[in-house]
Amino acid sequence: MKRLSWDQYFMAQSHLLATRSTCTRLVVGATIVRDKRIIAGGYNGSISGGTHCVDDGCYVKDGHCVRTIHAEMNAILQCAKFGEPTDHSEIYVTHYPCLQCCKAIIQAGIQTVYYANDYKNDAYAAELYQMAGVQVKKVPLEKGISLPGQVDNTSKQLDYISELLAKIEANGASGKEICDLQQQAERLFVPDN
C-alpha cells in the first residue's frame, strides 16, 4: 500500500469532514493544520442547534443560502472557540474558498490555502491572497483514495453528465439552470447520511 503524502492526507481529512455537511447546494470540508498537526476542522452547515438545509431547505437571499456557515469559517471559529492560534497555519479545503472566507483566512494568519476543486474562483480573492502573501495551491484528491461511503465516479458517468448538460444548454437553458443541474448531478454522487 502506498503511503499518502501529507497534502493528500490532509485533503482526505477535508473530504471526510465534508460528509458531515448539511448543505444541499455544495458539500465542503476544511482542515486547518499547523506543523503537520490538525488543529481544527469544519464543514458547511447551520449554526449549532439550528435548522439544517437538509431538513427544511435552503434559506436563500440574493442567490446565497444565509443559513449556512462555510466550512472554512467553521474551522477558523473552532480555533477561536478553543483557543488554538491560526497564525502560520495552512488550510486544506475541498473547494476554492469564496471571497468572504478568503478574507477570514487572511485575517486569521493562515499562510497557505490548499484546495481540491475549482468552484466559482473569485479573481479578487486571488488578488487579495497575493497582496497578503498567502500561497494558494490546487491539490486534487488523488484517484484511488477511497473515503467511507464514497462512490466511484467513473469517467463514463462524468462524460455522460457533461453530454446531457451540453444538450440541455443547446436547447436554450440558461447558465443558471445549467449550473443548478451540474450541482444536482454532483450531489448524486454524494452518499446520503
pLDDT at residue 187, rounded to an integer? 60
* Cβ within 8 Å of residue 176, ≥6 positions away: none
pLDDT of residue 148: 53
Amino acid 191: pLDDT: 39
Spatial CA neighbour of 187 closest among 156, 160, 153, 164: 153
Q: Which grid coordinates belong to 29?
A: 470540508
Q: Under DSSP, is residue 64 helix (H, G, I), strand (E, B) or coil? A: strand
H-type alpha helices, 19-154: 53-56, 71-82, 99-107, 123-132
Predicted pLDDT at 182:
73
The predicted-structure confidence for 39-94, as pLDDT tens digits, reads as follows 999 999 999 999 999 999 999 999 888 999 999 999 999 999 999 999 999 999 99
In angstroms and rounded to an integer, the radius of gyration of the C-alpha atoms of the chain is 17
Strands lying side by side in the sheet with 29-34: 37-43, 29-34, 90-95, 112-117, 135-138
Which stretches of the chain score pLDDT less than 50?
Answer: 151-152, 154, 190-193
* Angle formed by the axes of helices 99-107 and 123-132, nearest 10°: 10
- Identify the pLDDT of residue 2: 80
Residue 183 in grid coordinates: 450541482
Alpha-carbon separation of residue 137 from 10, 112, 114, 127, 140 (angstroms): 13, 8, 5, 14, 10
Would you say 188 and 161 are in contact if contact means Cβ atoms under 8 Å apart?
no
By annotation, the residues acting in catalysis are 72
